[in-house]
Amino acid sequence: MAALQSVRGTKDLLPNQIQDWYFIESVFRKCAEQFGYTELRTPIFEYTEVFLRGVGDTTDIVGKEMYTFDDKSGNSLTLRPEMTAALVRSVIQNSLIQQSSPTKLWYFGPFFRYERPQKGRYRQFHQFGAECLNTEFPESDLETILLANRIIKSLGIAESNLQINSLGNETVRATYKEELKNYLKQHFDKLSEDSQRRLEGNPLRVIDSKDPRDIEISANAPKLKNYFDNESADHFGFVIKSLDDLGIAYTLKDNLVRGLDYYSHTVFEFQSSYLGSQDSFGGGGRYNKLFEELGGKKAPSVGFAFGVERLLLILEQQNLLNSPAPRLDFYVMTSNSKDLPLAISYTDRLIKMGKSANYDLHRKSFKSQLKDANRLNARYVLILGEDEIQNNQIAFKNMETGEQITIAQTDFEDQISKII
Ligand code: AMP
């Protein structure tokens, strides 16, 4: 029978890669905690409605990329394509918002999008993200960028580019969208098919299209920043000035709008030249109306997400992924498999001492056990040979130095603690 394969666009996370994931996860957790964020875990699937209302049906995510299915009761469910809508659903349901104080949450886990797989783009991928909820002021936009920046630095990523833009407040954006639509309609025939389709529902997307036809038309499109009122200008001005004050480099990018419907004011993305065509490894922005869209009270918020596989691609290219191979403290050997119960009992005592320890699971020869100990990168080997057992002793071999001594079986724990 032919061996089965994993689903296209999904990857197994193999034992020799797991240390890298532990490393990256520990940096996420540490940095998020430094900024006072706590973790939220939500289910992998939600009622489809959460994403229809929370992400918006003019987006690619909802329009083309969701894994949606009916369960046996006929409920329409969707594997989460992103976290923000699901997180807001959970925060409303569990009443996690407190009046006049922020709720700061981070998450890490798998997400699912039916996209065309390529390097850096998968159908199951992982995101780390952080959301600062119930805060309307630009200080919180800044804080999320600072957290993202701290993570990038703590991971050791040498080169990354923060691109930033402001979509202004809702009033400004509504006026601008009309102006933009009028302009784009004049050039309708020259736009890409995607942009022609998006023009009515999501005209902002047209100006961040990568299609050369759209880029040409967008170059002369009206600029959103020329429509800013005082509130929009002040909000963004604060973020930019603070980044300058803190010496954090950024690029202002007029046509950065991000795919989702719900953003206002600050939006940002992180790019790296190590990544090729999928060069964005994270992004985020402010969303002020999502809570109401999902049936909650008003709670303006801001957040971002990193794609973990893309962070790993960057680290790999910088040669920063050199996790040491896993090591075993002790391998407990016997010269005769009838003595295995004794080996098991010593292994058990080592485990209780907090050490890592294995015994032979294949009833192998003495020589093969020694090979196994080497394969497992064991620091020490304990040998229970015929002679040792008869004399109530154990041989202790240091695999690094090759030195071997014999110890008495009595006071085993004390002796081991003294030697190692
Ligand atoms: P988004 O939620 O689309 O803003 O994506 C945030 C980050 O998640 C991106 O910058 C990518 O790093 C990552 N990401 C999004 N979609 C995928 C995907 N299909 N495969 C791998 N990473 C992804």
b/e string for 348-361 if b means 16 or more Cβ within 10 A? eebeeeebbbbbbe
CA of 264 to the centre of ligand 1 (A): 20
Q: Break the chain down into helix, strand, coil percent, rounded to 5.
A: 40, 25, 35
CA of 112 to the centre of ligand 1 (A): 10
Q: For residues 103 and 303, give the distance between their C-alpha atoms in angstroms, rounded to a whole number.
A: 12
Please say whether the beta carbons of 351 and 336 come within 8 A: no
- Looking at residues 318-342, what average pLDDT do you find? 91
At residue 324, does pLDDT exceed 90? no
Q: Whose CA is nearest to atom 18 of ligand 1?
A: 121
Nearest alpha carbon to residue 306 among 326, 331, 323, 281 = 281
CA atoms within 13 A on the CB side of 299: 26
Helix axes 18-34, 308-317, angle to 10 degrees: 110
Give pLDDT, residue 347.
98
CA of 131 to the centre of ligand 1 (A): 16
- Looking at residues 107-127, what average pLDDT do you find? 97
> Relative to the CA of 123, which ligand 1 atom is closest?
19
CA of 281 to the centre of ligand 1 (A): 7
Percentage with pLDDT > 90 across the chain: 86
399: pLDDT confidence band, cut at 50, 70 and 90? very high
124-133/301-307 β-pairing? antiparallel
Give pLDDT, residue 57.
79
241: pLDDT confidence band, cut at 50, 70 and 90? very high
* The residue type at 70: D
Which residue, chain included where needed, has tokens 């800013």?
228
Q: How many CB atoms lie within 10 A of CB 200?
A: 11
At residue 260, does pLDDT exceed 90? no
Which tokens go with 229? 């009122």
Please say whether the beta carbons of 207 and 255 come within 8 A: yes
CA of 282 to the centre of ligand 1 (A): 7
Give pLDDT, residue 279.
86
At residue 268, does pLDDT exceed 90? yes
**String of DSSP letters for 242-269:** HHHHTT---EE-TT---S-TT-EEEEEE
Q: For residues 134 and 249, give the distance between their C-alpha atoms in angstroms, rounded to a whole number.
A: 27
Q: For residues 3 and 106, give the distance between their C-alpha atoms in angstroms, rounded to a whole number.
A: 39
According to DSSP H, which parts of 77-119 are helical? 84-93
Give the residue, out of 127, 257, 311, with the most ligand 1 atoms within 8 A of its beta carbon, to mutate for a pocket test.
127
Q: Which of 80-84, 150-154, 224-228, 272-276 has the lowest mean pLDDT?
A: 272-276
Beta bridge partners of 166: 266
Q: For residues 184 and 120, give the distance between their C-alpha atoms in angstroms, rounded to a whole number.
A: 32
**Mean pLDDT rounded to a whole number for the chain:** 94
Residues 162-194 have pLDDT tens digits of 999 999 999 999 999 999 999 999 999 999 998
b/e string for 326-342 if b means 16 or more Cβ within 10 A? eebbbbbbbbeeebbeb
H-helix or E-strand spanning residue 281? strand 280-287
> Relative to the CA of 129, which ligand 1 atom is closest?
6
Ligand 1, pocket residues at CB < 6 Å: 82, 113, 115, 120-122, 125, 127, 259, 280-283, 305, 307, 309-310
363: pLDDT confidence band, cut at 50, 70 and 90? very high
Helix (H, G, I), strand (E, B) or coil at 153: helix
At residue 135, does pLDDT exceed 80? yes
CA of 150 to the centre of ligand 1 (A): 19
Give the residue, out of 256, 310, 311, with the most ligand 1 atoms within 8 A of its beta carbon, to mutate for a pocket test.
310
304: pLDDT confidence band, cut at 50, 70 and 90? very high
- Looking at residues 137-141, what average pLDDT do you find? 98
CA of 276 to the centre of ligand 1 (A): 14
Residues 187-230 have pLDDT tens digits of 999 999 989 988 888 898 898 888 899 999 999 999 999 999 99
